[in-house]
Amino acid sequence: MAAVPNLVTMKGITKAFPGVVALEDVDFALRRGEIHALMGENGAGKSTLIKVLTGVEHPDSGSIELEGKPIQVRSPLHSQELGISTVYQEVNLCTNISVAENIMLGREPYRFGSIDWKTMNRSAKTALKRLDIEIDVSRPLAEYSLAIQQMVAIARSLEISGAKILILDEPTSSLDANETALLFDVMRKLKGEGLGIVFITHFLEQVYRIADRITVLRNGKLVGTYDVASLPRLELVAKMLGRSVTELDAMSQVKTQAEQTQAVKPVVQANALGLHGALEPLDLELHRGEVLGLAGLLGSGRTETANLLFGVDAPDSGTLVVKDEAVKKFSPNESLKRGIALCPEDRKAEGVVGELTIRENIILALQARYGWFKFLDKQKQYTIAQEYIQLLGIVAPSPDQLVKNLSGGNQQKVILARWLATNPDVLILDEPTRGIDVGAKAEIQKLVLQLAAQNKSIVFISSELEEVLRISQRIVVLRDHKKAAEFTGTVDDQTVMHAMAGTV
């Protein structure tokens, strides 16, 4: 049987930004008539690879061939002219105008100096019929579901460029099961027409339902390309996390001190707590003096769980009880009053304020809890800042040092100090050690155990499975925005990875 020719071949792609190598000597090939999943954790290089292919970024070295001919993709517009189209997670269309106007935008047919609406609607219907979608194209796009809006985006991409290559970036992240099935039907149809489809997702089950091959990236490097049929889920998870399956049994398990005696009643109890499109209803308990680990791949629902517990998002199902009181108002400020604090995942976007000093960053949450009409005096601010600088070992010449001038590890400690200054009963830590050195990680892990020993309740979220295993008394595994498993006491990483992969 003759080999299926490649539509696109990328060889030795390297791309560096100041301070980081985003891609290092990466190869990628997409065949005609295949659905190829591109997978990897946060920072793996997926987005940069796609930006290089679509002309958003230009590689420092490497080559790209389209149907066997060398190309240099100059811009996103040039990529469309070459037949490479991308549909992003957030549908980039105008919801206030009609479906037909969205599909034909910029290519409207004219007759006698005015838009020929009849021809435009007919062309839009034809474009959607190719996807087996029949709707009223004269209605505003906003009247249709997100799934239909994505079909319109795909139809527009195919209509504009006569696409040979379709890149779908997290297309199912906000779709329900029926809408996802509709999208998959369209993907299979386009695959049958000979299109090559790059499918970027974090949903393992969906990859095994729809994809033919998988390429895994990790830390900007190519781990490998595999046929889906020959790559078990557990091995895929191991490759994404940078672990080998054979290595797992030999690894020593480091556990924390003896299990804390748990109170009869939990400090936090969630019953069927969920939010449509973000998190399937789940049950969760957190006891006094306990470290509860949340494990799962990126996109599994870990951060969504943290956001519901802290009130960043309000659930649309279930109940949440904190210290025997049912939560009625969901907001970060209300959570602070209840004694709950959240150290967010993205310290750059949601954590530190770079232009403020260490002192100003540390007292932010405490000041918010007091209210802006009850200002903390300067002397008290310095006393609090000095206390946590000493407690956490923040390396800085003074509390008046700008946070932007600190190392990543010290910035992370400043965020921790901010929330510890509120003296919370419950502390939610979302990726508290991401991007910091080994020494700072060890210090933060030690601090988490010390806080638990002081009867604080900790929710600990990390992409590094060994971290979760090392300091958690109980572990909840999330997969595809659902609670997949729960383990108490000693558990090995292979068992947890099986749960993450959906093979347990």
Neighbours of 496 (CB within 10 A): 24
Q: What tens digit of pLDDT does each residue of 194-249 get?
A: 999 999 987 888 899 999 999 999 889 999 999 999 999 888 888 887 765 544 33
Average pLDDT over residues 324-346: 87
Look at the alpha carbons of 167, 169, 171, 172 in this order and tell me if their dihedral is positive or negative: positive
Residue 466: predicted pLDDT: 80
Q: SS3 of 33, please?
A: coil
Residue 89: predicted pLDDT: 66
Judged against a pLDDT cut of 70, whether residue 1 lies above it is answered with no
Average pLDDT over residues 264-287: 91
DSSP E strands in 88-208: the ranges are 110-111, 114-115, 165-169, 196-200
> Which segments of 130-176 does DSSP mark as H helices, in order?
146-161
State the fold for domain 6-247: Rossmann fold (3.40.50)
Nearest C-alpha neighbor of 128 from the set 146, 89, 105, 154: 154
Q: What residue type is 152 in one-letter code?
A: V
Angle (CA) 122 154 199, round 5°: 160
Residue 388: predicted pLDDT: 82
Residue 438: predicted pLDDT: 56
Average pLDDT over residues 181-193: 90
Q: What residue type is 162 in one-letter code?
A: G
In whole angstroms, give the CA distance from residue 427 to residue 430.
10
Judged against a pLDDT cut of 80, whether residue 368 lies above it is answered with no
Portion of the chain with pLDDT greater than 90, in percent: 38
Average pLDDT over residues 158-186: 82
Judged against a pLDDT cut of 90, whether residue 49 lies above it is answered with yes
Residue 445: predicted pLDDT: 81
> 245 versus 297: which is more confidently predicted?
297
Q: Which of 50-54, 184-188, 323-327, 406-410 is least confident? A: 406-410
Residue 435: predicted pLDDT: 60
Residue 112: predicted pLDDT: 85
Average pLDDT over residues 305-334: 92
Portion of the chain with pLDDT greater than 70, in percent: 89
Residue 55: predicted pLDDT: 94
Q: SS3 of 456, please?
A: coil
Q: What tens digit of pLDDT does each residue of 446-474 get?
A: 888 888 888 999 999 987 788 888 889 99
> 108 versus 31: which is more confidently predicted?
31
Judged against a pLDDT cut of 90, whether residue 442 lies above it is answered with no
- Please state the CATH superfamily assignment of the domain spanning residues 263-339+426-436+456-504 in this structure: P-loop containing nucleotide triphosphate hydrolases (3.40.50.300)
- pLDDT tier at 263, thresholds 50, 70, 90: very low
Judged against a pLDDT cut of 60, whether residue 9 lies above it is answered with yes
DSSP secondary structure code for residue 140 in this structure: B
Mean pLDDT of the chain: 85
CA-to-CA dists, residue 474 to 329, 343, 386, 441, angstroms: 28, 20, 34, 20
- pLDDT tier at 2, thresholds 50, 70, 90: low
pTM score: 0.64
Residue 52: predicted pLDDT: 96
Tokens representing residue 35 in the block: 């659905």
Which residues touch 422 (CB under 8 Å, ≥6 apart)? 336, 339, 341, 365, 366, 369
Q: Where are the domains of the chain?
A: 6-247, 263-339+426-436+456-504, 348-423
For 138, phi then psi, to 5°, come to: -85, -10
Judged against a pLDDT cut of 60, whether residue 162 lies above it is answered with yes
Judged against a pLDDT cut of 90, whether residue 75 lies above it is answered with yes
Residue 256: predicted pLDDT: 38
Residue 227: predicted pLDDT: 96
Q: What tens digit of pLDDT does each residue of 108-144 get?
A: 888 888 888 898 899 899 888 888 888 999 999 988 8
Angle (CA) 128 131 132, round 5°: 90
Residue 258: predicted pLDDT: 34
Average pLDDT over residues 260-285: 84
Residue 474: predicted pLDDT: 93
For 322, phi then psi, to 5°, come to: -120, 120
Tokens representing residue 319 in the block: 């109940």
Residue 488 bridge partners (DSSP): 474
